[in-house]
Structure 1
Amino acid sequence: MGVEIQVPQLAESVVEATVGTWYKKEGDRVERDEEVVELATDKVSLPVYAPAAGILQKIVHPEGDTVKPGDVLAILVEAEAAAVSSAPQAAKPAAENAPVKTAVAEKTEVHPPIATPLAEKVAEEQGIDLSSLRGKGSGPNGKITIEDVRQFAHTSSSAPSSTEKEVQKPAASTASGTLPPVLSSLTASFGRREEREPLSRLRLTLIRNLQESERNAVRLTTFNEADMSAVIEIRKRRRDAFKERYGVNLGFMSFFTKAVVGALKAFPYLNAEIQGNEVVKKYYYDIGIAVGSERGLTVPVIRDADRKSFAEIEAEIADLAARAREGRLKLEELMGGTFTITNGGVYGSLLSTPILNGNQVGILGMHKIQERPVVVNGEIVIRPMMYLALSYDHRLIDGSDAVRFLVRVKELIEDPETLLLEG
């Protein structure tokens, strides 16, 4: 009787996954709790472990298949059963044992390089042998990523890839159908370069979630600006001592996390959620921090931010951001935030209108710090200023509360000593 290796329960709101890399092939020996396959969800990569020791008899879903919780990924013959079934073969003629020898020989073959499913697909489309990238992957555990493939394609040859050649065919397809003959001819004549690649599961899910957010909320955005002089002065004065004592840098995110917590305590409906005909007010503060990466946008959550020190918040943000970029976040680290902060300023954004995250009713947008002339006590002075944006769900949050919430964040940032009391 075989043992089923099943797709585990993923997480709330995660209903399917893509089979990524199989680390074992049919006929391989597997130890109990050994990682046998990786699943790619819309949020993270998820390892699947063998429930027992034995031989991998059959792979039901190969790489690239879409699966759901409970689906059978593979059949495993437990070690005892495998030993019993193979025992009678010892008395059979040598000719009958040939297939067994072949199977053993196959196990000694070199495994193909480990790469993400999307990297493998792009490599196949461009005719790239992934063995050329063995040991050069930039992903976790040396895994080859799509960026590694693109870089290799760019540096190794100037010849047009199979993807580019496809564009030059007369019947070049577009998102809306097929190009008319005249446009197709122009594309080929002038060598106008196009490249196609499938949207990742993460990107497709982001599209779905953002569209859902816009459909289910009445989003408005209010703006203000904060003088960052006091925070910058504290960071400059305490930076070295903070790093020496705690081993992390004192950044802006800990100040804004604390300021947001203080403002949420003053305006609790910004930390609430609409569920049917009820509003759920939450008196815990799980703050999502938006992190951009090669895979797309993820929002890991800092649990109980009100109970954590500046150093604890900075260390956790650094850890979550690093693992988000490497695709090593756990599903539970992405679930259940009550409010989100996003910092477009790290990319140079001066002003934006952030989109609400999931069922949350508020999100704070930080932006680039820019020196500007402002009037202070009747005099024009130059100050480092940051535009702040609060997007909110107008179904629950009135404009007056939204404006006052953002003013409170501004006050706490401009007088950061109060964060020790308010945050």
Structure 2
Amino acid sequence: MSILEMKVPSPGESITEVEIATWLVKDGDYVEKDQAIAEVDSDKATLELPAEASGIITLKAEEGDAVAVGQVVCLIDTGAAKPSGSAPAAEAPKAEEKKEEVKAAPAAASAPAATYATGSASPAAKKILDEKSIDAASVQGTGKDGRVTKEDALNATPSMGTPTGGPRGTERKKMSMLRRKVAERLVEAKNTTAMLTTFNEVNLTEVNKIRAEFKDAFKAKHNASLGFMSFFTKAVTRALQLYPDVNSMIDGQEQIKFDFADISIAVSGPKGLMVPVVRNAELLSFRGVEAEIKRLATRARDGQITVDEMTGGTFTITNGGVFGSMLSTPIINPPQSGILGMHNIIERPVAVDGQVVIAPMMYIALSYDHRIIDGRESVGFLVAVKEALENPMELLMNNDPKKALEL
């Protein structure tokens, strides 16, 4: 018998502990080399743990256990023969997420309802009480001999202790390590920064014209969509060069400024919000931005994103508009000092050159750390983003859209 001890690999620098989120195999299963056998949560990402060899597996940790990097989590008997008729490794089902359900018992099971009336309800009162799902015995009647009148029924309201027959179940489950870390960071950002938000609105008419004219050719040549994110990313990197304080962070009593723009893009993954980083976005073309965002979003969706791909950003863009948000105050992603919030696009009347026209409008928001960024820089930055998006041909494409889009 040859036994291989599988230990938790380091998912990234400074990470010393992970949590077993889900075992994808059962104790005693035969696994193939490189087959995903578990999903593990770090405080930055959810990663798959592949089998280091083929054989029969013995699990040494439970789902939800916190295990140190380097700790043995399972054994693989590499000398075991593969059982005949076993399903291919790729078909191994994921273990179902364990849930603890707590159901509240109806109040009547522990104590009988108090009876106030010595008489019965009138037919009209009974009809009203039935519609409200209220027991007539729980209503104080004001009629003769305690009879519940129509007026009593109209004024009656269900008490908190009166069962109404509806579902009253609750569900409790442990938050993943990633979600707990996100929660900690959000509270930290609110408690340790002097966060302030400034707002503006953008007329996206010109962006829409460019997308309508060139999106098909762009898709055909680059196999990527010409979306809004490339325009916003290019507008942000331009504004960061004009207002470098927004592209900086505090370290103790020092301010660190960056001459590059690593843009964190908030995306929604299967395990919640993830923020992969587009490196040196200021050097990328429209095609480069779209291709990199597509690559990172796909890896986040498929659970393949790495810790290194989500660390080190200097500024963040988040798009709540894809979920229908009209306006929000995004929370800074520490240790960064600024985050731009995009929102949904609504056609509404606006004044353009003295005329009222219908235009595709979006509210944009910049949350920033007022300890390091003053009002002039924050407002100027947001105005620069607005200017670039309302005049993209000149400010983002140097009046040559075909060249800018590499068509």
58-67 or 16-25, larger mean C-alpha shift: 16-25
* Equivalent in the alignment of 1:115: 94
2:204 to 224, 228, 232: 228
The alpha-carbon deviation at position 48 of structure 1 amounts to 2.8
* Residues 183/5 of structure 1: CA separation in 2 closer, same or farther (3 Å cut): farther
* Residues 167/325 of structure 1: CA separation in 2 closer, same or farther (3 Å cut): farther
* Residues 107/278 of structure 1: CA separation in 2 closer, same or farther (3 Å cut): farther
In 2, distance between residues paired with 1:295 and 1:34? 20
Task: Say whether the 8 Å CA contact 1:228–1:385 is kept in structure 2.
Answer: yes
Deviations 1:270-311 (A, max 9, x none): 111211121211122111111124432111111111222212
Deviations 1:142-170 (A, max 9, x none): xxxxxxxxxxxxxxxxxxxxx47x23366
Q: TM-score, normalized by length of structure 1?
A: 0.72
In 2, distance between residues paired with 1:374 and 1:15? 54
* Equivalent in the alignment of 2:42: 41
Counterpart AA for 1:114: P
In 2, distance between residues paired with 1:25 and 1:195? 28
Task: Say whether the 8 Å CA contact 1:171–1:184 is kept in structure 2.
Answer: no
* Equivalent in the alignment of 1:69: 69
* Equivalent in the alignment of 1:193: 168
* Residues 351/24 of structure 1: CA separation in 2 closer, same or farther (3 Å cut): closer
Matched, 1:341 2:317: yes
In 1, distance between residues paired with 2:304 and 2:82? 34
Taking the TM superposition and a 5 Å limit, the aligned residue runs for 1:146-161 are none
Provide the secondary structure at the position in 1 that maps to 2:360. strand
1:238 to 202, 214, 218: 214
Taking the TM superposition and a 5 Å limit, the aligned residue runs for 1:8-27 are 8-12=9-13, 14-22=15-23
Unaligned 5+ residue runs, structure 1? 83-102, 126-162, 173-181
Provide the secondary structure at the position in 2 that maps to 1:120. coil
Provide the secondary structure at the position in 2 that maps to 1:9. coil
The alpha-carbon deviation at position 108 of structure 1 amounts to 5.9
Matched, 1:298 2:274: yes
Task: Say whether the 8 Å CA contact 1:170–1:184 is kept in structure 2.
Answer: no
In 2, distance between residues paired with 1:252 and 1:110? 42
Provide the secondary structure at the position in 1 that maps to 2:293. helix
Q: TM-score, normalized by length of structure 2?
A: 0.75
Counterpart AA for 1:115: K
Provide the secondary structure at the position in 2 that maps to 1:420. coil
Taking the TM superposition and a 5 Å limit, the aligned residue runs for 1:101-112 are none
Unaligned 5+ residue runs, structure 2? 110-157
In 1, distance between residues paired with 2:349 and 2:243? 31
Matched, 1:217 2:193: yes
Taking the TM superposition and a 5 Å limit, the aligned residue runs for 1:165-184 are 166-168=103-105
* Residues 239/407 of structure 1: CA separation in 2 closer, same or farther (3 Å cut): same
Deviations 1:356-377 (A, max 9, x none): 0121100001111122222222
* Equivalent in the alignment of 2:134: none
Taking the TM superposition and a 5 Å limit, the aligned residue runs for 1:368-383 are 368-383=344-359
Q: Provide the aligned C-alpha RMSD in A.
A: 3.3
* Residues 27/239 of structure 1: CA separation in 2 closer, same or farther (3 Å cut): closer
* Residues 171/53 of structure 1: CA separation in 2 closer, same or farther (3 Å cut): farther
Provide the secondary structure at the position in 2 that maps to 1:121. coil
Point out the structure with the larger helix share.
1
* Equivalent in the alignment of 1:352: 328
Counterpart AA for 2:62: P
2:259 to 275, 280, 283: 283
Matched, 1:384 2:357: no
User: Which entry has the higher C-alpha Rg, 1 or 2?
Assistant: 2
Task: Say whether the 8 Å CA contact 1:28–1:107 is kept in structure 2.
Answer: no
In 1, distance between residues paired with 2:38 and 2:269? 23
* Residues 309/276 of structure 1: CA separation in 2 closer, same or farther (3 Å cut): same
The alpha-carbon deviation at position 77 of structure 1 amounts to 5.9
* Equivalent in the alignment of 1:249: 225
292-301 or 243-252, larger mean C-alpha shift: 292-301
* Equivalent in the alignment of 1:60: 60
